[in-house]
């Protein structure tokens, strides 16, 4: 999608990252080595950012769309990375650079987000507010130039199951109220597979791969089973749970997580969302399929 937009003359790519992450990416785009990119992926180890596909995306983009300028509009919860960027600007005497104040504000938003523990979805709602506010600031500063933004479905598809409750206002809701005739929305269709669980076949939405830095584990892969909850809702729980799945977590879903161990064997675990809540997420609790 970005290659197409780039070919039409766009150069500004807005990402669901903090502003300081995007500024590091901009520095890397101008650098001869991958040292900055290597450090960024070390900083994001174990998160949904940390996949070989994501890294390859940036490397191919640098090759094919070298004039791309990144703009990050997310809140700053990774404070070590943010403060390192601020200290870098201090060392370079760039305290008057606009990104200096932006980085500080981004970290302030991250602190506020982390302190919003209740009511349910208060933190998520605040994040969507900040995403819209930060997006607007970037877009308006560009003087109306065409831009492309890449965002997760939680912030976009509020009308197809991603909205946690009817009153929830997504980032896109806010942007559409400001720019009703300026936004074109394209979604990436999920990759579907067939998985067999307990002798039954299910359509499964593939959620991609992310690294697991627990001892003895290689990267892990994720699937959401379609129309499987009723078959497994009474299976016994183990007491383990997972929060940050690469899907919009909804009540009544079943997820599969596969990990490949260092000895070559594969560990497959099964989770379902019964409606229990923790830290802004529906808990995906591990169960034993019968």
pLDDT in the model for residue 163: 65
CA dihedral 211, 75, 123, 278 (to 10 degrees): 20
What whole-number distance in Å separates Cα of residue 190 and Cα of residue 193? 10
pLDDT in the model for residue 132: 98
Over the range 168-204, which residues count as b (16 or more CB within 10 Å of their CB) and which as e? eebbbbbbeeeeeeeeeeeeeeeeeeebebeeeebeb
Half-sphere exposure of 221 (CA within 13 A, CB side): 15
pLDDT in the model for residue 123: 87
pLDDT in the model for residue 280: 64
pLDDT in the model for residue 164: 65
pLDDT in the model for residue 216: 47
Going residue by residue through the chain (290 aa), what tens digit of pLDDT does each one get? 999 999 999 999 999 999 999 999 999 999 999 999 999 999 988 777 877 888 999 999 999 999 999 999 999 988 899 999 999 999 999 999 999 999 999 999 999 999 987 776 788 899 999 999 999 999 999 998 999 999 987 788 754 455 667 788 999 999 999 999 999 998 878 899 999 999 999 999 998 877 654 444 567 889 999 999 999 999 999 999 988 788 877 899 999 999 877 777 889 999 999 999 886 678 899 999 98
pLDDT in the model for residue 266: 87
pLDDT in the model for residue 212: 55
pLDDT in the model for residue 282: 81
């Amino acid at each position: 999608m970005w290659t197409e937009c780039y070919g039409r003359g766009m150069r500004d790519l807005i990402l669901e990252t903090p502003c300081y992450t995007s500024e590091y990416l901009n520095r890397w785009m101008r650098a001869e080595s991958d040292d900055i990119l290597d450090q960024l992926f070390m900083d994001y180890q174990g998160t949904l950012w940390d996949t070989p596909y994501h890294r390859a995306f940036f490397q191919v983009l640098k090759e094919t769309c070298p004039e791309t300028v990144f703009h990050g509009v997310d809140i700053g919860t990774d404070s070590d990375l943010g403060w390192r960027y601020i200290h870098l600007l201090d060392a370079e005497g760039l305290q008057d650079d606009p990104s200096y104040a932006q980085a500080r504000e981004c970290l302030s938003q991250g602190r506020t987000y982390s302190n919003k523990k209740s009511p349910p979805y208060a933190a998520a709602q605040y994040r969507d507010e900040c995403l819209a506010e930060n997006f607007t600031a970037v877009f308006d500063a560009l003087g109306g130039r065409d831009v492309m933004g890449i965002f997760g479905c939680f912030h976009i598809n509020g009308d197809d199951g991603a909205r946690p409750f009817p009153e929830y206002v997504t980032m896109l809701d806010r942007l559409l109220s400001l720019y009703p005739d300026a936004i074109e929305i394209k979604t990436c269709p999920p990759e579907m597979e067939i998985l067999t669980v307990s002798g039954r076949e299910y359509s499964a939405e593939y959620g991609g791969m992310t690294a697991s830095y627990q001892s003895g584990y290689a990267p892990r892969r994720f699937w959401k089973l379609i129309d499987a909850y009723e078959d497994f809702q009474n299976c016994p729980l183990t007491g383990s749970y997972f929060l940050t799945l690469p899907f919009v977590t909804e009540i009544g879903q079943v997820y599969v997580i596969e990990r490949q161990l260092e000895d070559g064997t594969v560990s497959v675990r099964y989770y379902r969302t019964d409606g229990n809540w923790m830290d802004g997420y529906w808990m995906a609790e591990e169960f034993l399929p019968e």
